[in-house]
Structure 1
């Protein structure tokens, strides 16, 4: 399994994001924490948000210590409790960031959640919870950062989605929601271009390992199951996703908008990783028999004439 390093590093030059301000939702764990940490390392002022205050406080202490140990501190890091499904809490996240830092240059919509389940077993409550978090929550954050700041001052938004390009069997709720965010990204990139706002997405592969994701999936060991289907034949790291996000936030991506960058080692064009179809004969091929009236044969071998 991938063991995260305690050392913060970046391929980008020191001070790249000096005096910039970023919001990272879901910034207390996993991919979001890696993104927040690299932004801090590069001189950015960061506001992290999550539903769980205790998680945010713990992450803030850890990140500040890491940045300080490497002589990059003191880290300019604050946190706000925010359930991105709640409109008023999202509005407060934006206003609190403006009150703290005076501006918002970057928004990274990393907050989200899902659980493994066959589609037939997903309750309406479970479906709504995932769609409202991953799709509606992302929309609310985009809308509010635009209305409260970026419409007048410009900015950059990066949405974190998922590897749902071949469907998402075993997690159809998040596949549907993340696919919608991919489309939302394209729509906002066009609507807000004249205001100086760039909007892109990053799609981490299912093989990106984090302790948080591993704990959430429990016995559904998605990571060990995935390795044979990853062209790189290894798991990805949260830092590899963070580097992609920082690229899209950087001046190097100034002419890129409305796009989704896949961080999956090519897995999205390789066979499905989350679902194995057993051998069966329940989807027969169309048949034509000249001497048949179309009524014979087994139930699994339909025949037809035009």
Structure 2
């Protein structure tokens, strides 16, 4: 099974990349592309069955190793990073892809709900960044890519996630300055509405919004997991050796259209999606 990547096959030969949230969706797609480029990957997640399935897709334990970890728990994160370094001996890259949220107006979000989303999307990101930096990258260099979301409009309807993603961006900026002397680059990718498996886990009440958002995107479609993966791969690569503290928004122009409500979008757009992984399946919610 060949991933249809646009990068050279040996780009990450001999290197190890940690992917949190590697058991499904965008993280799974990234793992496939990285392996196609010669990397070995450490897949981190909470559900072992999902991680095992991706490991089998990638070719087994020699290429991908799996680690069950609650990224919100500092003790577990420290132990997981230690286990990864014990197994592989090094880790040149880290992609923080794990996270999650649920739609709710601010007035209805409980303290527990708030904390769960902030810990998933911000605290877990920080803990993995810190542990990988202290345990390996501070002495050897490396690249970190944080996968976030476009928070600049506040994310009404998911304000807890907007607050966490804003913090994630600020964390990226701070680390890009503090860790640059060690040869560590820290950047962020902000996906727009991506046709990823995670969409099928939203409540049914959100289905119409998820389908209709494409009407507001200038490119008139959802993005694909492969389009996010390609951005992250670039930021990990040597081609981005002077890219540090950057935020790369992958949203088909949606951000700028939301700031320009007076512009009427054409009914159709000539935009073909890029899909690199043969195993990709479009979320069912988008076709109902």
Q: CA RMSD in A?
A: 1.5
Deviation at 1:261, TM superposition (A): 0.4
Q: Tell me what 1:40 maps to.
A: 35
Deviation at 1:266, TM superposition (A): 1.1
Match runs of 1:153-302 below 5 Å: 153-205=140-192, 207-221=193-207, 222-271=209-258
SS at the partner of 2:17?
Answer: strand
CA spacing shift, 1:217–1:26, aligned 2, 3 Å: farther
Q: Deviations over 1:141-191 (max 9, x none)?
A: 010001101111111000000022211011111110011110110000000
Does residue 16 of structure 1 match 2:11?
A: yes
- Give the whole-Å Cα distance in 2 for the aligned partners of 1:98 and 1:218: 41
Which stretch shifts more, 86-95 or 122-131?
A: 86-95
Q: How many residues align?
A: 258
Q: Deviations over 1:16-49 (max 9, x none)?
A: 1001100000001011111111001101010010
CA spacing shift, 1:217–1:203, aligned 2, 3 Å: farther
- Give the whole-Å Cα distance in 2 for the aligned partners of 1:54 and 1:250: 30
Higher RCO structure, 1 or 2 (CA under 8 Å, sep 6+):
2
Calculate the TM-score normalised by the size of structure 2. 0.86
Aligned match of 1:121 in 108, 113, 117? 108
Q: Residue 156 of structure 1 contacts residue 198 of structure 1 at CA under 8 Å; is this kept in 2? A: yes
Calculate the TM-score normalised by the size of structure 1. 0.81
Structure 1 stretches lacking a partner, 5+ long: 1-5, 66-73, 273-306
Structure 2 stretches lacking a partner, 5+ long: 260-288
Aligned match of 2:136 in 105, 128, 149? 149
Q: Answer with 1 or 2: which has the greater Rg.
A: 1
- Give the whole-Å Cα distance in 1 for the aligned partners of 2:10 and 2:100: 32
Q: Tell me what 1:25 maps to.
A: 20
